[in-house]
Amino acid sequence: MQIIITTLVILVIGFIVGYALVLTDKKFHVDTDEREQAIRDALPGNNCGACGQAGCDAMAAAMFKGEAPLNGCPVGGASVAQMIGQIMGVDVEAAVPKAAFVRCSGCREVTRDQGRYVGIMDCRAAVQAGLNVTSCVFGCIGLGSCQKACPHDAIVIQEGLAHILPQKCVGCGLCVKTCPRALIELKPRDRQVAVRCMSHDRGPLVKKVCTAGCIGCGLCEKVCESGAIKVEGNVASVNYELCTQCGKCAEKCPSKVITLPRSA
Amino acid sequence: MKSLIMIIVGCALINNVVLNQFLGICSFLGVSRQMKASLSLGVAVIFVMTLASAVCSLLYTYVLAPLSLDYMKTIVFILVIACLVQVVEMFLKRKSPAIYRALGIYLPLITTNCAVLGVALTNVQDGFGFAESVLAGFGTAVGYTLAIVLLASIRSRIREEDIPAPLRGAPIVLISAALMSIAFMGFANLSI
C-alpha cells in the first residue's frame, strides 16, 4: 500500500512541476526566431568562448543579428559555417582553419641570457620594465604570458620559447593579442612553410645575439618561384596565399629558420 | 528575533557551506577565476537558494511530512529545485532581460549546485519552520557568495606571483581554499 501512495505522490508532484514549467513557458515565452534556435543547434555547444562571445547562445544571437560573422566559430570550422549559411540562406565562405604560430626560434640554446630575471613572471611585465630577458630584443621572452592567456592549454614553454600544440589550438587568437612582442600570428593550418623569426636587426647583429635568427640575406627570396617570400626590414616573411609549399626556401636558408613542409 | 539573526550569522560564517560543510565545491573552484563572474554567481545563488528553501520547506511541512514520505525528500527536492530554476530563468528572461543577461550562464548552472539541495535537506533535518528555513537559505547563500568572492580575489593575486611549478594551477587554489577554511574555523568560537 505504502509503495502505491509513494508512487502516486511523486507522480502528482512530478506532474504539477512539469505542468508549471509548461505554463510558465507559455506565459513568459520570449519569441525567438526559429533560425536563431537552428543556429544554436548547429554550433558545437561547448561554450568555449573562442569566438569572443560569452558562449554558444550569445554567439547564435549575435550571428542572427548580424553582429558576428557566420563563419566566426573557430571550433566548428567549415562544416558548421556551411550549415549556418544554409539556415540563414546565404553562401558562407568557409574561414580557412587557422592555428597560432610563434615567429621565433630563439630557445635558450641559441640565444644568450641577459643575466637573471627575477621580476614578475610575465612577459608583459618584463617588457614594461624595459628588461631584456634574452639577448634578442625581438624574440620570445618565454615567461609564458601567452600560455596563461590560452584557454585551451595549447601553448607550452620549452627552453624559454613558446611552442604551439597544433592539435589543441583552435585559432582563437587570444595569444596573438597577449604577446607584448607581437610574435604570434594566425597561420592557415595547411601551410607549413613559415619564417620562425621576427628580428628586424641587421644580419651581423642577429648573428651576435642568436644563432637561429633570420639575417635577411634574401636567398629565399631569390630561390622562390612563386614570389611568396619577401625580405622586408631585414626579415623574411611568407605570403601564405601565394606559397606553393615547395620547400626550396627552407633548403636554401643558411640559418635554417624557415620551417619545412611536413611531407618533405 | 535574536535567534533569527543567529541563524543568518551561523549559516553565513560559523557553518559556512563551502568552507565548513564542503558543499558546492565544484562551482566554488570552477567559477572563482574572475571576480565579476564569481559575484554574478553569488547573486544568482542567493536568489535561488532563498527561494528553494522556502518552497522545499512548505512542500515538506504540508505534503511530505503528513504522508510520512520523509524518505522521498531528496528526490522531491531535486525535482522542485530543478523546476524552480527553470521557472525563474524563464520569468527573468521575459520580465527583466537585464538581470537575465547579468546572471547569464550561472542561473542554469545552479541546478547542479549541491549546496542548494544541501541547505534544503539541512533545514528539514534541523526541524526549521518556514521563516527559519528562508533565513537559513539566505544566510547560507551569503556565506557561499562571501567564500567565492574571497577566493576570486585571492586567485587574482596568485596569478601575479611566482608559484613553484608543481603547485601552479589547481594545487595552489586548493591550498588557498584550505587555508581559508582553517581561517573560517575561527568563527566557531563566535558568540552572539
Amino acid at B44: A
pLDDT at A38 over 50: yes
Residues 6+ apart with CB under 8 A from B36: none
Would you say A44 and A76 are in contact if contact means Cβ atoms under 8 Å apart?
yes
Interface of B with A in 47-106 (CB under 8 A): 59, 63-64, 67, 69, 72, 75-76, 79-80, 83, 86-87, 90-91, 93-95, 104-105
Interface size between A and B, measured as CB pairs under 8 A: 52
Shortest Cα distance, chain A CAs vs residue B135, angstroms: 24
**Inter-chain touch A10–B76, beta carbons under 8 Å:** yes
Element (H, E) at A100: strand A98-102
Grid cell, residue B58, equals 512548505
Report the alpha-carbon distance of residue A207 to residue A6 in Å, rounded: 82
d(CA B75, CA B186): 35
Residue ranges and CATH numbers for the domains of chain A are 35-95 (1.10.15.40), 97-190 (3.30.70.20), 191-264 (3.30.70.20)
By Cβ distance, the residue of A5, A13, A29 closest to B76 is A13
Question: Please, is B189 exposed, middle or buried when counting C-beta atoms within 10 Å of its C-beta (0-12, 13-18, 19+)?
Answer: exposed
A54 shares contact with chain B (CB less than 8 Å):
yes
Residues facing residue A98 across a β-bridge = A188
Dihedral of CA atoms A171, A173, A175, A180 in degrees, nearest 10, equals: 140
Interface probe with B: pick from A2, A15, A21, most Cβ of B within 10 Å: A21
Give the model's pLDDT for residue A95: 64
Rounded-to-integer distance, Cα A246 and Cα A250, Å: 9
Comparing A6-15, B97-106, B172-181, the range with the smallest average pLDDT is B97-106
Report the pLDDT value the prediction gives residue B191, as an integer from 0 to 100.
Answer: 67
Q: What is the pLDDT of residue A264?
A: 37
Q: Are A193 and A243 in contact (CB under 8 A)?
A: yes
Report the predicted TM-score, pTM, of the whole model to 2 decimal places: 0.57
**Mean pLDDT along residues A164-172:** 84
Copy the grid coordinates of residue A214. Answer: 633570420
Nearest chain A residue (CA) to B37: A54
Residue A55's pLDDT band (cuts 50, 70, 90): confident
ipTM value for the complex: 0.71
Contact A148 B95 (CB under 8 A): no
